[in-house]
Structure 1
Amino acid sequence: MTHLCAAVIQTRSGRDIARNVEETSALIRAAARDGARYIQTPEMTHLLEKSRKDLFSKIATEEADAGVAAFARLAAELGIHLHIGSLAIRTGTDSVANRGLLFGPDGQLKARYDKIHMFDVDLPNGESWRESATYAPGEEAVTVDLGEVRLGMGVCYDIRFPALFRALAVAGAGIVTAPAAFTRQTGKAHWHVLQRARAIETGSFVVSAAQGGKHEDGRETYGHSLIVAPWGEILAEIDHDAPGYALAELDLSQVAAARGRIPALANARSFTLREAGALTEGAR
């Protein structure tokens, strides 16, 4: 029976990249000491910055980014799969990707994923977000093998789009992910149910590290990093918004067991959609 010890790292990232990398690295080391072999950090691990001008003044290309280099070294030092939930990565003079990175135990980059769904919303409390004004959306779903299990990569708002997670599961992912910086308002309303729903629908483990608390740029995030089993049970949760980490032992045989009990992936059928017209009197 194959198992994987997984950990979620919860942070409260600010405006100083070096400090964020240092604080996150300390939590990663602690989780690794406790036995985690796959460790995930939240969306925007090394910088949360609302100001577009200030964001562009601080970020770099993937090749030049100090956080990318530091986390690659750390993965090799600890001999772990290190999933950096996302970083703001410059992709051109005026373009940025919200990019997740997966480093192998040798420190080599195994996968990158650019967040597909942009958080462009107006919330009831007056918050307004236009992620597409700064970030270029990705166009490709991504899976990557972690030895005995395949992992599917998502980021934050992606969790609200079941088709993406179904596609990852159909492609063989037994773990799907949504590292996040969920707003406090939407997190309180929907975070837990969305994570559990994606797990149940796909028969997959869902692992989602989160930002939490009041950040230097003024935003508030929900925290409550989660690891959910394929049957929908919460295996581990950081049940607050402060920095920390949580671990769970994933029994990978539960993926096949859940999909065997409720074979929703196998039973899905294609269909057409039509708009029904008015029924005739005789057919009523």
Structure 2
Amino acid sequence: MSRSSFVAACAQMRSGRDPKANIDQAVGLIREAATAGAAYVQTPEMSNTVNRDRAGLFDAISPEDRDPMLEAFRTLAREKRVHIHAGSLAILRDDGKVANRAFLITPDGEIEARYDKIHLFDVDLPNGESWRESRTYTGGDCAVVADLPAGRLGLSICYDVRFAYLYRALAEAGAEILSAPACFTRQTGEAHWVVLHRARAIETGSFMISAAQAGLHEDGRETFGHSIIVDPWGRVLAEAGDQPGVVMAEIDMALVADARGRIPTLQHTRTFDLDHVEAPVAKAPLARSA
């Protein structure tokens, strides 16, 4: 990976309940991307298991120091000499709760950064789907940026992508590449996935790189897929469909300075007050005589 450019890849998965099968799937996709020249490979949210059954989830996951997918990724990063960004893994915390945690792993197999998803998806959708991540997961409280050889990476996960202030904060902290690996539902993904990624890229003059889960999973959920790489001008450089696989694009870091020079919004931040101007009370109409 050079300072000026590198090849990034999204490994689009369809994770199931079995962590071992998910490891095999992810490792195969990462190998494919690395062989094709990727220096940075990202996997989706919940790479190690997708399981809506709470008891089944707890049976399948481990503490960080014993998570088999994380160990496999560290070994593979050393073997292929690539950065591996585990979009997120379900990790058992010391307090018995669960973290939705991303990891950035260096080509030496070291964990450079961790990020726990800040915004939890507690939503009732019009099609009857109901999601309560807060029942199982503990949200993070710290935004994270980490250095790649080519530039600074801002980490986020899935539902975070709807909160523009997070990405502005990451960009103001030096991030030139932003990420939101996801397990987006099909319904919300069809409506908002691409436009949100283009918006976050344009607002900050940054690359957006997000691997996604795709298709009908063992637990019955259906995810949108469409792993995506967007440049700082909002152009889609690569986009997957709805099947597992790899998409790749060259990341030319010169485009960040170009976009930010043309539209320097990060230099124009201002603080402001907010007034609430109450509307005048409407007078009741006069009664009409009979």
**Residues 18-97 of structure 1 mapped to structure 2, 5 A cutoff:** 18-97=20-99
Q: Residue 250 in 1 paired to residue 251 in 2?
A: yes
- Percent identity reads 57
Query: Match of 1:184?
Result: 186
How far apart are 1:278 and its partner, in Å? 5.2
Q: 1:120 aligns with which of 96, 119, 122?
A: 122
Counterpart of 1:241, as a letter, is D
Q: Residue 263 in 1 paired to residue 287 in 2?
A: no
Query: Match of 1:272?
Result: 273
Looking at structure 1, the residues matched to 93 and 278 of structure 2 have their Cα atoms a distance apart, in angstroms, of 49
SS in 2 for 1:173: coil
Query: Match of 2:146?
Result: 144
Query: Match of 1:282?
Result: none
Looking at structure 2, the residues matched to 49 and 68 of structure 1 have their Cα atoms a distance apart, in angstroms, of 18
268-277 or 26-35, which moves further after superposition? 268-277
Q: Residues 204-234 of structure 1, C-alpha deviation per residue, up to 9 Å, x if partnerless? A: 0000000000000000000000000000000
SS in 1 for 2:51: coil
How far apart are 1:242 and its partner, in Å? 0.6
Looking at structure 1, the residues matched to 175 and 6 of structure 2 have their Cα atoms a distance apart, in angstroms, of 14
Counterpart of 1:172, as a letter, is G
How far apart are 1:276 and its partner, in Å? 1.6
Looking at structure 1, the residues matched to 124 and 87 of structure 2 have their Cα atoms a distance apart, in angstroms, of 24
SS in 1 for 2:201: helix
Looking at structure 2, the residues matched to 5 and 96 of structure 1 have their Cα atoms a distance apart, in angstroms, of 33
**Residues 89-238 of structure 1 mapped to structure 2, 5 A cutoff:** 89-238=91-240
How far apart are 1:97 and its partner, in Å? 0.2
Q: Residues 72-131 of structure 1, C-alpha deviation per residue, up to 9 Å, x if partnerless? A: 101111100100000000003530000000000000000000000000000000000000
How far apart are 1:49 and its partner, in Å? 0.6
SS in 2 for 1:63: helix
Looking at structure 2, the residues matched to 94 and 128 of structure 1 have their Cα atoms a distance apart, in angstroms, of 24
Looking at structure 2, the residues matched to 38 and 216 of structure 1 have their Cα atoms a distance apart, in angstroms, of 29
Counterpart of 1:26, as a letter, is G
Counterpart of 2:201, as a letter, is A
Which consecutive segments of 4 or more residues in structure 1 shift more than 2 A? none
Query: Match of 1:241?
Result: 242
How far apart are 1:151 and its partner, in Å? 0.1
Looking at structure 2, the residues matched to 119 and 277 of structure 1 have their Cα atoms a distance apart, in angstroms, of 33
Looking at structure 2, the residues matched to 277 and 197 of structure 1 have their Cα atoms a distance apart, in angstroms, of 32
Counterpart of 1:174, as a letter, is E
SS in 1 for 2:71: helix
Looking at structure 2, the residues matched to 148 and 54 of structure 1 have their Cα atoms a distance apart, in angstroms, of 40
TM-score (norm 1): 0.96
How far apart are 1:4 and its partner, in Å? 1.3
- How many residues are treated as equivalent by the alignment? 278
Counterpart of 1:6, as a letter, is A
How far apart are 1:148 and its partner, in Å? 2.5
Counterpart of 2:275, as a letter, is R
Unaligned runs of 5+ in 1: 280-284
